[in-house]
Each structure stands twice: as C-alpha cells, then as structure tokens.
Structure 1
Amino acid sequence: MVGLSGGDVTLSDRRTGRRWPVEVGAFRLSVVPVTQGVYGAVTGEWPGAGEGESLPVEGVSWWDAVRFCNALSRREGLAAVYRVGDGTVEWDGRADGYRLPSEAEWEYACRAGTDGPRYDGLDEIAWYRGNSGERVHAVGGKRPNGWGLYDMLGNVWEWCWDLYDPQVYGSYRVLRGGGWADEHWSCRASVRRRSHPTFRIDDVGFRVARGAVAQLGSRTESV
C-alpha cells in the first residue's frame, strides 16, 4: 500500500452539473486493485470470467468487496471496519482494518496532484476499449501515476464506499475509473458511474484502503 498525506479535491457530477470540494485526510491505498490470487487466498472463492492470479478480481459486488475487507482485516489481526447486519452496514471509523476508499479518496489518489482528466497519456496508463483486446489484463502492466498507483484508470471499474445519489438512486453505490470495455471518455479521473450493491459484471473490481477515518466514529447506512 501507498501512504498518502491527504489534501483537497473537487468532485463533480456531469449529470447534475454539481461540483463540491472535499478535504481528504491521510490514508493508505493499495498500489493495484485486489487480484484474483489475493481474493482467492482470503475468501477461497474465484469469481469472474477471467482466470489468472495476477488479474484483477472482477464479477464481485459491493457487498462482496465489503466482506472481503473484513475477511482480510481478520486474517491480518486487525479490527474489521464493517459490521454487516440484515440489510445494513455500519462503518466503524475507529477500526484499523481494511475498507473501501471513499469516492473523494479515490479521485484524490487517482489525480496524484494533477488537474487534468488523466494523469498521463491514456494508452500508457490504462487498458480500455482501444487497446485491451476486449479482455481484462494483469494488474501493474501500465505506467503508474505520480504516487506509484497502477490501474487507477481502465482495466476494471472500482467500487467506492459512497452512495451515488440516495434521493434519486437509493442504495446504488459509486464506481470509478473506467474499465477494459469502455471508450476513452469513460476513463477519466472525474467520471462517476453507479450500480446496485448486489451487481456483478466482468469489468468491475475494487482496491482497498486503510486509516484516516478515526475522527468519524461509527455510522450506519441501509443498503
């Protein structure tokens, strides 16, 4: 994982035209998306259409990602961040385990101090429709951003913690980053996508984060 000191990021939504600033605290983020090999070692399951230990795990729902974070935390002797109930999940901000990044953390990490739509030329940093051969690729095969993070754009979309727009879309969660099947316009730092937390498809995965939320205490959301 890479330690990030935190800072300010401005999120935007093309659908509504809304922009909003967020202050991001210090946190740690995995250098690559969770791979099939890691997911299988932790859960004993190998979901998705592709096969290969170094491929990003895909075909996983938001719920699957939450449960993986807890399983990885327990495996490493850390306190689980999420307490999962019947239709609810509680995020304990005091726990030291693994979790999904917030949407603001994800964009802050993706941009790595840049302010354009991408942190480098798309073909150099991402697998997308124009160069993927219509398949997922092993993580870390393209150039990282300035903070040493690979595959922040392209290859697989990544689940974030946040609800997309609860007043309009209910329990739908945020996806970021674009995937191997997407056109170039979807592989930008600011692009937001939404999906139901039970949704599984072959271009959606996730990466994990730790830290920087102790001040939040705990909170419960229905999903």
Structure 2
Amino acid sequence: MYHAETINNHTFRLRFLPSGIFDMGSNETKKAWGKESPIHKVELSPFFIGEYPVTQALWKAVMGADHNPSFFISDNRPVEHVSWIDIVEGHQDNDGPPAFLQQLNEWTKTSRPKGYAYRLPTEAEWEYAARGGEPYEYAGSDQLKEIGWCKGNSHGETKAVGLKRPNGLHLYDMSGNVKEWCMDKYSDSFYQECYDQGIVKDPLCDDKKTRPRVSRGGSLNSSPRHCRVSCRFDWDPASQNILVGFRLVLAPVQR
C-alpha cells in the first residue's frame, strides 16, 4: 500500500508502514562508540514514509524551479545542502524562503489524507523503516555495496536515487548516498530513558538542554560502520552540508 502525490507535474510516492514493536539501537560498543545503546523496545503507530530521499526534482516542484541548493546537480539525485531549519522552520524573520514542509503541506492540503500532514521522520520511525523487519546491518543487506553508496563506491558524489536494491519494505537509499534529517533532538541519554520505561510508544526526543538534531543513514563519504541502520549522528540544525538530505513522512497531525 502506498500514497502518491503530484506537484507541478512531479509525482512521488510513500510506502505505508503498519504499527509494530521493534528493538531499537545496538549494543555493539566497538562500532557504535556507546551512542546506540541500550537496545530498547519501541512501539510505533502506522505512518507513510518516502520510497526515496527527497530528490532535487521534488524540492524544485515545491520550492520553485530556480531554487535548488544542491551541490551535485541532477533532478534524480537527493537534494542536499539543506538545513533542518530550511526544511522545518523556514527563514521568515530575514525574508528568506519559507520552510519546505510548510510549502509542501500547502500544496497538498486537498490531496493528502484528512488529518494527515508531511513532516520529518522521528528517529525511531527512521530506524524502524530502515531495518525493514530484516536482521541486516544495513538497510536491506549485510553487504553495503548491494544497497548503498558510501566512501568506497560513490566516487565522491551523490547518485541518482533508486539505483541500488531496496530493503524489505521497498525503501531505497536508506544506507548511504545522503544522511537524512530526523525530527528528534540528539541526546546521549535518551536511549537509556526509553529503556527505563519498558516499551515506549512513538518516542520523540525534545530535550530542552540540547540544540543538535539527529541525522541517520550515512552518506557518500561515510565508512561502512556509519551506514549501519542503528548509527546516529548529531548536527547543528542550521548546518547546510552536501552530505545531508532528508526523507518525508506522512502521519496524523496529532503525533
């Protein structure tokens, strides 16, 4: 099951993921530097998630044909060099462009399911989708070269989305190509807090003491250890980097 939208003659699709409980994180201290532990159980409500990272074609369809911040220019490559603020909050205070999500939700207000809106995935939703119900180290395989673009095979540039195999949920490029912004603030202690609760439902870290936001998935310049489905990164939300893009979620607005 999927949901499709067409904006300015550009069509994109999102896959439906049913509710479920999964083990989030990793206890592999040698690879994870302790940032991915403890493993804890998470229950998620249903949501839709993009088959691909947001492409430059989709970004331009929403933001305007002349507005493409990417370094590696091509409609079918992921948009990059976009900050968390560019996507979620926008720059209205200094006459900059509005947020991508604000624009997208305006374009789709009569076509998306009633009561649903587009947003970034939570960190838990992202990992649930990347794992795809499979026991692999990467999103769809234990062999990164089969499913992702990283430092060893990217030739130092992003690639068009969908060239590698998808994972078990038919999601592409979740390991490598570009890292992907998540909604959550980054906290080293959040996993322990979740673990202490038992099974936590729809977690979202909104720690008032910290500024960095989470990104996931590894990039064109990442080593294999950084492309693992459990690997976490912290980035300043104002950072614009050629290694970071994002993927869409469509979910009920109350979450």
Please, what TM-score do these two structures have when normalized by structure 1?
Answer: 0.84
Does the Cα contact within 8 Å between 1:79 and 1:95 map onto a contact in 2?
A: no
Matches within 5 A, 1:1-223: 1-12=14-25, 14=32, 15-16=34-35, 17-44=37-64, 45-66=67-88, 67-77=99-109, 95-118=115-138, 119-120=140-141, 121-165=143-187, 170-212=210-252, 214=254, 216=255
RMSD: 2.1
Task: Specify the SS of the correspondent of 1:147.
Answer: coil
Cα separation, 2, equivalents of 1:42 and 1:130: 33
Cα separation, 2, equivalents of 1:77 and 1:172: 30
Cα separation, 1, equivalents of 2:176 and 2:146: 11
Does the Cα contact within 8 Å between 1:9 and 1:107 map onto a contact in 2?
A: no
Larger of the two Rg values belongs to structure: 2
Distance apart, 1:179 and its partner CA: 0.3
In the TM superposition, structure 1's runs of 4+ consecutive aligned residues that sit over 4 Å from their partners are 166-169
Does the Cα contact within 8 Å between 2:177 and 2:218 map onto a contact in 1?
A: yes
Task: Specify the SS of the correspondent of 1:98.
Answer: strand
Distance apart, 1:48 and its partner CA: 2.0
Which structure 1 segments of 5+ residues have no match?
A: 81-93, 217-223
Task: Specify the SS of the correspondent of 2:77.
Answer: coil
Distance apart, 1:40 and its partner CA: 1.2
Which amino acid in the other structure matches residue 11 of structure 1? Answer: M
Cα separation, 2, equivalents of 1:213 and 1:18: 30
Cα separation, 2, equivalents of 1:10 and 1:36: 33
Please, what TM-score do these two structures have when normalized by structure 2?
Answer: 0.74
Identity %: 39
**How many aligned residue pairs are there?**
202
Which structure 2 segments of 5+ residues have no match?
A: 1-13, 27-31, 89-98, 188-205
